[in-house]
Chains A and B, each alone.
Chain A
């Protein structure tokens, strides 16, 4: 038995150690491979739209999928170091502002799934985490998405990725802070504060290093297994725009000089539901065709951060007024960020 677990542990270390160099080898040579396929294998004529669209597709799909696998794996491992229980404990004694800051930051690394939003909300609020701080967490968790982060990093570079994270954090802090200041506790469904959540000693899940690695692989299986198809579709759409839509086509619709483009992009984004992986190739194509960064970023944040289905779930615990306030504040935050970026860039 002992021998076996030892062997298992060795394997778990060995697999990433072999896979990682392979990953880099493949990733760094993707462009050459793509050119090889397009030129030598498919023998596509150079310089026409079809070829341009197909090359884009052949290069971007493996690139984005490779990035996705690596990051989801890393995040899967990192998340084993955080739990909602721990996050709640940290946030419990925090006042407004300091609490909003830490809640937004913890929103990035704490494991979160939208289907757990309600128990999480209840668990936080009932154990005394202030409403505004809880909201900062609930806004940051879906909005600052690891998949989006990596895709931005891979497709646009670290500056855009950093901007995405910092503006997401600012919106989460600001919105939670405003909600806290407005003292909206009365718009939480009455039963929420009446019921006291039981806190039986839940055995804390302890992870061995091998289990953390396994969690990373499980996350890859689960998330990449779910989103790869959206990535492919998104890139196909992107490739279509890339090859066929003329340069600067979007400038008149989503360009800097169009003042209404930011709020319209946000409003259109709210009912749209897409995961980050699907939206980013579209973002890339829009940018390339003359849409401005602020407008596109606002659109993206609205799509992944504010989604109607998720908000409707919140109706179980929040009165409609608070939901409306919540959406309006976050949407305003996103609009401000959009304008700000259009102004800077």
Chain B
């Protein structure tokens, strides 16, 4: 599973990245977490608010920091 955090480096983006990594680690989820900072790459997902959370190439959220249990259920494919 690939997880991407889209963001140019604002505070919210860093918070989300740290959060996702923590959730992945704590729940032993086999996922590769990657931070995407390139603008055109970010735009290719069609979002207009950062941070974006992309799981297996699907945009799950943008512009917000989702709650932990929400992230976890997305990671589990629920």
Give chain A's interface residues, CB within 8 Å of chain B. 84-85, 88, 111, 113, 115-116, 118-120, 122-124, 126, 191, 195, 197-200, 202-203, 205, 316-317
Q: A113-B49, A119-B50, A120-B49 are in contact. Are A197 and B43 (CB under 8 A)?
A: yes
Name 17 A/B residue pairs within 8 A (Cβ), A-sorted. Answer: A88-B48, A111-B49, A113-B12, A113-B63, A115-B13, A116-B50, A119-B8, A119-B50, A122-B48, A123-B43, A123-B46, A191-B40, A197-B46, A200-B45, A202-B46, A202-B47, A203-B59
B contact residues vs A (CB 8 Å cutoff): 8, 10-13, 39-40, 42-50, 59, 61-63
- Cβ-defined contact, B11 with A119, below 8 A: no
Contact B42 A119 (CB under 8 A): yes
With A119-B50, A120-B49, A197-B43 known, 13 other A-B pairs at CB within 8 A are A88-B48, A113-B10, A113-B12, A115-B8, A119-B8, A119-B42, A122-B48, A123-B46, A123-B47, A195-B44, A198-B43, A198-B45, A199-B46
CB-CB under 8 A from B42, the residues of chain A are: 119
The 6 closest A-B pairs by CB, nearest first: A115-B10, A123-B48, A84-B48, A198-B44, A197-B43, A116-B49
Q: How far is the CA of A115 from the CA of B42 in the complex (A)?
A: 14
* Cβ of A201 to closest chain B Cβ, rounded Å: 9
* Count of A-B contacts judged by CB separation below 8 Å: 66
The docked-state distance in angstroms from the alpha carbon of A267 to that of B14 is: 33
A205-B62 Cα distance, complex, nearest whole Å? 9
Q: A191-B40, A202-B62 are in contact. Are A120 and B12 (CB under 8 A)?
A: no
Residues of A within 8 A of B10 (CB): 113, 115-116
A203 vs B62: C-alpha distance when bound (angstroms):
11
Knowing A85-B48, A88-B48, the reply to whether A119 touches B59 (Cβ < 8 A) is: no
B59: chain A residues within 8 A (beta carbon): 200, 202-203
Q: How far is the CA of A120 from the CA of B44 in the complex (A)?
A: 13
A122 in contact with B49 (CB, 8 Å) = no
By the criterion CB–CB under 8 Å, are A195 and B40 in contact? yes
Least CB distance from A171 to B in Å reads 23
A109 to chain B, nearest CB (A): 15
> In the docked arrangement, what's the CA distance between A206 and B57, Å?
21
Q: Which residues of A contact B8 (CB under 8 A)?
A: 115, 118-119
**Considering only CB atoms, which chain A residue lies closest to B10 in the complex?**
A115
Given the interface contacts A115-B8, A115-B12, does A84 sit within 8 Å of B40 by beta carbon? no
CB distance from B50 to the nearest CB of A (A): 5
Give min CB distance, B35 to chain A, whole Å. Answer: 15
Determine how close the nearest CB of chain A comes to the CB of B29; give it in whole angstroms.
22
How far is it, in angstroms, between the C-alpha of A122 and the C-alpha of B11 when the chains are bound?
20
